[in-house]
Amino acid sequence: MKKSLLEMNPYLKDPAARNMALARNVVTSSAIEGIRVKRDVKSGCFVSNIKIDKISTKSSETPR
């Protein structure tokens, strides 16, 4: 049976380094999408700074 990525990748073996890399990945990937996130100190979860008031599900109509 093959080893998992966690077992093979030296960057993922150290839990502290893995956690830091994951946090950096979430923040940078979210920024590319235009979302600002921060990590909550108590829960460790990532939270967004934006509030969504209303989401429109209607697609835009273009004249033909």
- The string of pLDDT tens digits covering residues 6-62 is 889 888 888 888 888 888 888 888 888 887 777 777 777 777 766 544 445 555 566
Which run of H or E residues covers position 37? Answer: strand 37-39
User: What integer pLDDT is reported at residue 1 of this predicted model?
Assistant: 82
Tokens for 53, please give them.
């008031």
User: What integer pLDDT is reported at residue 21 of this predicted model?
Assistant: 87
Tokens for 48, please give them.
């967004």
Instruction: Say how far apart CA 17 and CA 25 lie, in whole Å.
Output: 12
pTM, 2 dp: 0.53
Which run of H or E residues covers position 25? Answer: helix 15-32
Residue in 29, 26, 51, 47 with CA at minimum distance from that of residue 38: 47
Instruction: Say how far apart CA 10 and CA 55 lie, in whole Å.
Output: 42
